[in-house]
Structure 1
Amino acid sequence: MTETGGALGKRAVGATLWGGVNMALGRIVQFATTIIVARMLAPEHFGALAVAIVVQTIATNMAELGATASLARGTGDPDRVAPTVFTIALVTSSVMTAAAIITAPALAAAFDDPAATPVIQVLSLTILLQGLGAVPSTMVWREYLQKARVFVDVGSVLTVLVLVVPMAAEGWGAMALAWSRVGGQLVALVGYWIITPRRYLPGYDRSVALEVVKLGMPLAMANLVVFITLNVDYFLIGRLLDPTALGLYLLAFNLAGLPSAVITSVIRATAVPTFGRLYADGTLGTLAGRFVAGIAYFAFPVSAMVVGLAHPLIVVAYGSTWAPASVALATLGVFGATRILVELFADLSVGAGRTMWLFWVQVVWLAALVPALYVGISQWGIAGAGAAHAVVACLVVIPMYVRVLTLVLGIRALDLMRGSIVPLLAAAAAGTAAWLVAGTVQGSVVPLLLGGLAGVAVYGTLTYRQGRVLLLTLRNLLRGRLNTALPETAKEGAA
């Protein structure tokens, strides 16, 4: 049996479960850190951090020119590819770090927040650290070493917590958030170098570089566009509103994105290397609908609960001072669900090696989003920003991805999306039930608990049959019995 059979299924699902443990522990610590710091700092400090994160995120995702995708797909010889990837990542991350430090004053001024200048300069150090760790972290990803990665990632977020609390207490403000992230990234770098299965030094092979850039450059450009897309709202809110509104929106965006961040991080623990191997074996098209159905089953109800319980969630988590952020959270929750699907579609595209398609989808997304955000923010403030994200994602982005994947994978749109219809309708009913129940009682904790229980009960009842099928599939994959976990068409393709 080849690795694309039962062995791959067992290996991928096991790594995904460990990835889930990793994300759960990491996000719990990160969420606790945000709660603690939110009660120690003013909203405008989070606004300065939002500006710095925009710069850092864009630079980080451009820093290695998408080169690590060649390693992550798991279809080439790492001894041949890794040294060149290391060199590309190191050079470009160094250039990006220097550029961010030098242009920080101008970048902060563009966001109308001069106080963000030193925060950008400090946070830019993480770009260089991520460049140094690009190859070892990708090798850990490629070889499904998620169990060992748990200790590295949890150690990183614990470092952030240990550093940020005393710094915030001493009055460091946004700089406490920035320096603590640098410390956490340094711990992650050391950890990945320790657990990587093979260590490589920088090298250069012209033929490899051409292959890497051909695959990676469209992906890097797509990453640049998508992160501009996901952060242009910060820029417009900073220009059209004020730092306090930006801080409220950042908190709401992070909370709304928590389910998508956890789920997509779990998916990406194994997605690209698994999809790459399945595409090479000719079975990715027949399995894509199953992946979409499984992700939708877990993603949609969580996002629906965020929408239905937006106000009590904000108040319980961060305190009544942050209650105005709930208007943005309610609309951003819808976007959170669509974002999970979009991330899965992107990973399917990368696994199939079709990164140029990915780039053009992001370009159209950005072109549609900017005017929608401008109108939404101008008319309805931070709530309008969330609504713009949701409308564009549902009416523009997802239909485009479905069209692209039907061409790339050779499947029908209905086959790709059929399994997500029941979870979508059930999640809408569950979110409505949660909202109605929460509105019948006073306070914040009790409405959150009762509404959550009502929503879970409704969703569980409506999707009971699909949940049982999904559980059986996962059980068979864990036992390495791929043939009993797949539909008949997939069995034929794997034969």
Structure 2
Amino acid sequence: MTTASGQDRPLGHRAASATLWGGVNMALGRVVQFATTIIVARLLAPEHFGALAVAIVVQTIATNMAELGATAALARGEGDPDRIAPTVFSIALLTSGIMTAAAVILAPALAAAFDDPAATPVIQVLSITILLQGLGAVPSTMVWREFLQKPRVVVDLCSLVTVLVLVVPMALDGWGAMALAWSRVGGQLVAMAGYWIITPKRYGPGFDPQVAAGILTLGMPLAMANLVVFVTLNVDYLLVGRMLDPTALGLYLLAFNLAGLPSSVITSVIRATAVPTFGRLFAEGTLGPLAAKFVSGVSYCAFPISAMVVALAHPLIVTAYGGPWAPASVALATLGVFGATRILVELFADLSVGAGRTGWLFWVQVAWLLTLTPALFFGIAWWGIAGAGVAHATVACLVVIPLYVKSLTTVLHVSAWQLLRGSTFPLLGATVAGLAAWLATRGMENPAAALAAGTVLGTALYALLTFRQGKLLFADIRALLRPRAAAFDPAGSAPPGEAARP
């Protein structure tokens, strides 16, 4: 597993180091991914992105169902991985194989459901990544569990560079959406090989019925929740594709991915250590007092980025992707609001998994889907792709966040105000900064100049308005890591009586 020196380091230090390297990983990864999207968007038409959107819907749902949530038992840091991992491997391999075969066979029907028959071969090619993720499920989870984010930087960067190296010549050769699909397969193959190389210990398939029962008790509600949440986050693609057209779907995909960039970066950094750390903190009874600090820190970093995305949507789209993509800015402006709320939603989901509250997590996702679907229908019918963003933001604020807060306040024994108060000043500061940036750039004809000026003005104003909270936040982070480091169990062991829990 890990080296002796690595295991002897306190949990606080290991988590801090992993989070730092996770941030480096995400920063490098997003730069490469953003550059790739810009290059490909200038080579392909919007309808090609629409076909990819359909394939991604199928891939993400199948991938997150493929291992039935089994890796969560391995990732939480409780139990003996030598006992758990072989069973997790068998479950992931079997179910990912079934999901891959089902996606290939059902691709024509799935593409027809989105009213985009051209997506059929794209779905079939992209389904290969489902099997590859199943093969790499245990190695990637062990890397996550043991906080090995430093070597993971190399693996993930190699994967992204592989995508870029493959997609450009394919797009230039006229492959269209298939260039996007095959390049992702290549990137996933490199990632799987890399995780097998850097994993602290390699495991083969095996099966223990008692272990499997414990794994599925924890994992099945999480797998079902993942299924529901990915349907929830992709039902908009289905409705946009059927109610509008493939071009509108391509514009919407671009806007959704760009709006979600802040949340994906920040939550990916957090998830580098979140579930293993939250699981250990919950086991020792200290997650409740610390949860508010996580919420405050995430809000402080995330809200101003989303505010700038909303305020500068049009110059951002035109500068990055060119004039033909300008219609996507109307969706980006509304989806940017959802991007901010989604960051909190993702953090609350990780806190729920760390606390072992996967059953409640599933029901929150069900409520989210049941309320979002009609909201999306009416929003798209009234305002087109911009209406989808309005629906997302409204449901997240009025339904999803309140339900998560209700669940977490119960299990963590804190009040809603204690949990959320650290996010109020970042929200107000980001709103004022975004409004100022929008007003200052309204009359500017050069989109690149407007983007630069608005970003500088908004960032400076936000830093000024929230200077005191930012200073206190960084002081809290330093104080959190130093005094508590010695109190953490370096091996991450479970309390007495819980050692047999997977």
TM-score grouping bracket, smaller chain normalisation: over 0.9
Which of 308, 315, 330 is the matching residue for 2:333? 330
Q: CA deviation at 1:439?
A: 1.0
- Tell me what 2:491 maps to: none
Matched, 1:413 2:390: no
Q: CA deviation at 1:476?
A: 4.2
Question: SS in structure 1 opposite 2:10?
Answer: helix
> 1:61-92: CA deviations, max 9, x gaps?
00000000001000111000000000000000
2:394 and 2:486 map into 1 onto residues whose CA distance is 39
Q: CA deviation at 1:320?
A: 0.6
Question: Do the aligned partners of 2:12 and 2:485 also contact (CA within 8 Å) in 1?
Answer: no
- Tell me what 2:308 maps to: 305
> 1:69-128: CA deviations, max 9, x gaps?
001000111000000000000000000000000000000000000000000000000000
- Tell me what 1:389 maps to: 392
1:441 and 1:258 map into 2 onto residues whose CA distance is 25
1:308 and 1:463 map into 2 onto residues whose CA distance is 19
- Tell me what 2:258 maps to: 255
Matched, 1:129 2:132: yes
Matched, 1:77 2:80: yes
1:477 and 1:17 map into 2 onto residues whose CA distance is 15
- Tell me what 1:432 maps to: 435
Q: CA deviation at 1:441?
A: 2.0
Question: SS in structure 1 opposite 2:233?
Answer: helix
Q: CA deviation at 1:474?
A: 3.2
Please tell me the residue identity of whatever aligns with 1:224: L
- Tell me what 2:378 maps to: 375
Matched, 1:36 2:39: yes
**Pairwise CA RMSD of aligned residues?**
1.6
Q: CA deviation at 1:13?
A: 1.3
Question: Do the aligned partners of 1:6 and 1:482 also contact (CA within 8 Å) in 2?
Answer: no
Question: SS in structure 2 opposite 1:481?
Answer: helix
Indicate how the Cα distance of structure 1 residues 115 and 437 shifts in structure 2: closer, same or farther if over 3 A, else same: same
Question: Do the aligned partners of 1:290 and 1:419 also contact (CA within 8 Å) in 2?
Answer: yes
1:308 and 1:481 map into 2 onto residues whose CA distance is 41
Indicate how the Cα distance of structure 1 residues 5 and 283 shifts in structure 2: closer, same or farther if over 3 A, else same: farther
2:298 and 2:414 map into 1 onto residues whose CA distance is 18
Which of 145, 163, 172 is the matching residue for 2:175? 172
- Tell me what 2:483 maps to: 481
Question: SS in structure 1 opposite 2:78?
Answer: coil
Please tell me the residue identity of whatever aligns with 1:108: A
- Tell me what 1:90 maps to: 93
1:4 and 1:442 map into 2 onto residues whose CA distance is 57
Question: Do the aligned partners of 2:11 and 2:485 also contact (CA within 8 Å) in 1?
Answer: no
- Tell me what 2:187 maps to: 184
Question: Do the aligned partners of 1:38 and 1:318 also contact (CA within 8 Å) in 2?
Answer: yes
1:415 and 1:204 map into 2 onto residues whose CA distance is 44
Q: CA deviation at 1:410?
A: 1.1
Question: Do the aligned partners of 2:10 and 2:485 also contact (CA within 8 Å) in 1?
Answer: no
2:475 and 2:143 map into 1 onto residues whose CA distance is 28
1:406 and 1:5 map into 2 onto residues whose CA distance is 33
Please report the TM-score for the alignment, with normalisation by the length of structure 2. 0.94
Larger displacement relative to structure 2 (464-473 or 332-341): 464-473
Please tell me the residue identity of whatever aligns with 1:482: R
Matched, 1:364 2:367: yes
Please tell me the residue identity of whatever aligns with 2:35: A
Which of 317, 320, 327 is the matching residue for 2:320? 317
2:366 and 2:276 map into 1 onto residues whose CA distance is 25
2:437 and 2:100 map into 1 onto residues whose CA distance is 46
- Tell me what 2:494 maps to: none
Please tell me the residue identity of whatever aligns with 2:279: G
1:11 and 1:467 map into 2 onto residues whose CA distance is 24
- Tell me what 1:118 maps to: 121
- Tell me what 1:468 maps to: 471
| Matched pairs, number | 483
Please tell me the residue identity of whatever aligns with 1:418: R
Question: Do the aligned partners of 1:301 and 1:459 also contact (CA within 8 Å) in 2?
Answer: yes
2:161 and 2:448 map into 1 onto residues whose CA distance is 27
Q: CA deviation at 1:482?
A: 2.7
Please tell me the residue identity of whatever aligns with 1:298: C
Please tell me the residue identity of whatever aligns with 1:458: L
Larger displacement relative to structure 2 (387-396 or 435-444): 435-444
- Tell me what 1:64 maps to: 67
Q: CA deviation at 1:52?
A: 0.1
Structure 2: stretches of 5+ with no match in the other structure? 1-5, 489-502
Q: CA deviation at 1:437?
A: 1.1
> Among the aligned pairs, what percent are the same residue?
75
Question: Do the aligned partners of 1:249 and 1:325 also contact (CA within 8 Å) in 2?
Answer: yes
Q: CA deviation at 1:41?
A: 0.3
> 1:118-177: CA deviations, max 9, x gaps?
000000000000000000000000000000000000000000000000000000000000
Please tell me the residue identity of whatever aligns with 2:328: A
> 1:26-69: CA deviations, max 9, x gaps?
11101100000000000000000000000000000000000000
Matched, 1:154 2:136: no
Please tell me the residue identity of whatever aligns with 1:289: A
- Tell me what 1:195 maps to: 198
Which of 47, 50, 54 is the matching residue for 2:53? 50
Q: CA deviation at 1:4?
A: 12
Question: Do the aligned partners of 2:260 and 2:339 also contact (CA within 8 Å) in 1?
Answer: yes
Indicate how the Cα distance of structure 1 residues 307 and 4 shifts in structure 2: closer, same or farther if over 3 A, else same: farther
1:144 and 1:266 map into 2 onto residues whose CA distance is 12
Structure 1: stretches of 5+ with no match in the other structure? 487-495
